[in-house]
């Protein structure tokens, strides 16, 4: 984690150009720029800057947004709810669709079920998220007019409207995730299906479903959980796109707006936050291994 912080800091430091010049504007003299640089502490040694920056970030102080003229931390908390609801809804949907699909494909290996699931899976991570998004909007919201086209409603304003507006974005985002998880589930389940203990379980007369759930899925879980964790990267990238397509005022939308407005403090904070979430989730995934497979010890 410390390494990640250093890398992110260096990346931002090396690539931001000169923030003092940006803040000062075009008409500033060299003295003005120097004064701002001094105020921001940019004239101190890199190591000292890093410690100061880290200290602020740990306290949740990401500086002030150039564009929105608000503290970045406040901006982020305002945008947190839509993104969090979208992400949770997507993960729930994706996992509940992908694992049965993957298990079915492995169980019926070589049949049309298998080919169908694998075909869907390749299709799923070949079609970009925004193409899926527009196809869904066109079909479900405009052609059939079942659901609202775009927008977001806060949970506090009514559960019905909240879910109604969240269904399409979540499905859109879930597809690529389903594709990846189903693929790994199938591979992992296939490996376990050939094991001795599965043959024993079948031989002692257990019917297929308990065998699949208790004996196969349990032992095939580690790679599946791993890919759910790694897939969060796809999810984060997808959130940025999905929120733009569906006009959801979340963190992803904030990222795009901030990039277009060249609002560096906000861009930095959001990227750092997303990376942090990604790393933390994968840490959590690593910890669940001990629960899933008692042979793994840390």
Name the residues that contact other proteins, by CB under 8 A.
3-4, 6-8, 11, 15-17, 122-123, 125-131, 134-135, 137-138, 142, 149, 183-184, 186-187, 190-191, 232-234, 236-237, 240-241, 244, 255-256, 259-260, 262, 264, 267-268, 270-271, 274-275, 278-279
For residue 123, what are the CA distances in angstroms to 112, 163, 223, 226, 235? 16, 27, 22, 22, 17
- Reference 243, options 121, 93, 79; nearest CA is 79
Nearest approach in angstroms of CB 240 to other proteins is: 6
- Residue 225, Cβ neighbours under 10 Å: how many? 21
Nearest approach in angstroms of CB 260 to other proteins is: 6
Nearest approach in angstroms of CB 140 to other proteins is: 13
Q: Which residue, 16 or 38, is less far from other proteins as judged by CB?
A: 16
What is the DSSP-derived secondary structure letter of residue 71? B
For residue 71, the cross-strand partners are 64
Q: Which residue, 256 or 292, is less far from other proteins as judged by CB?
A: 256
Nearest approach in angstroms of CB 228 to other proteins is: 15
- Reference 174, options 142, 136, 212, 143; nearest CA is 136
- Residue 44, Cβ neighbours under 10 Å: how many? 14
For residue 64, the cross-strand partners are 71
For residue 238, what are the CA distances in angstroms to 171, 172, 181? 12, 9, 15
Q: Which residue, 82 or 124, is less far from other proteins as judged by CB?
A: 124
Check: CB of residue 180 under 8 Å from CB of residue 231: yes
Q: Which residue, 126 or 200, is less far from other proteins as judged by CB?
A: 126
Round to whole Å and give the CA distance between 264 and 26. Answer: 17
For residue 73, what are the CA distances in angstroms to 17, 32, 60, 87, 186? 23, 27, 7, 20, 42
Q: Which residue, 95 or 184, is less far from other proteins as judged by CB?
A: 184
Nearest approach in angstroms of CB 21 to other proteins is: 14
Q: Which residue, 82 or 231, is less far from other proteins as judged by CB?
A: 231
Q: Which residue, 35 or 286, is less far from other proteins as judged by CB?
A: 286
- Residue 123, Cβ neighbours under 10 Å: how many? 12
Nearest approach in angstroms of CB 76 to other proteins is: 14
Nearest approach in angstroms of CB 41 to other proteins is: 21
């Amino acid at each position: 984690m410390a390494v990640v912080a250093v890398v992110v800091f260096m990346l931002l430091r090396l690539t931001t150009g000169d923030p003092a010049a940006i803040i000062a504007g075009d008409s500033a003299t060299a003295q003005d720029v120097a004064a701002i640089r001094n105020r921001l502490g940019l004239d101190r040694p890199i190591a000292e800057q890093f410690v100061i920056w880290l200290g602020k970030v740990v306290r949740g102080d990401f500086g002030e947004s150039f564009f929105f003229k608000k503290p970045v931390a406040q901006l982020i908390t305002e945008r947190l709810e839509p993104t969090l609801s979208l992400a949770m809804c997507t993960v729930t949907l994706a996992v509940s669709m992908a694992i049965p699909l993957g298990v079915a494909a492995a169980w019926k290996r070589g049949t049309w079920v298998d080919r169908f699931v694998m075909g869907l899976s390749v299709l799923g991570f070949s079609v970009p998220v925004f193409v899926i998004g527009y196809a869904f909007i066109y079909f479900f919201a405009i052609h059939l007019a079942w659901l609202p086209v775009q927008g977001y409603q806060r949970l506090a304003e009514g559960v019905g409207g909240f879910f109604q507006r969240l269904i399409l974005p979540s499905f859109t985002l879930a597809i690529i995730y389903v594709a990846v998880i189903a693929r790994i589930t199938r591979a992992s389940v296939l490996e376990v299906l050939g094991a001795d203990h599965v043959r024993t379980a079948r031989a002692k007369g257990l019917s297929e479903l308990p065998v699949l759930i208790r004996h196969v899925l349990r032992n095939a879980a580690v790679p599946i959980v791993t890919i759910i964790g790694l897939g969060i990267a796809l999810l984060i990238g997808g959130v940025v796109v999905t929120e733009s397509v569906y006009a959801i005022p979340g963190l992803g939308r904030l990222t795009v707006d901030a990039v277009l407005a060249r609002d560096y403090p906000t861009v930095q904070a959001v990227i750092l936050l997303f990376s942090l979430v990604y790393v933390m989730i994968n840490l959590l995934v690593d910890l669940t291994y001990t629960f899933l497979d008692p042979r793994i010890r840390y």
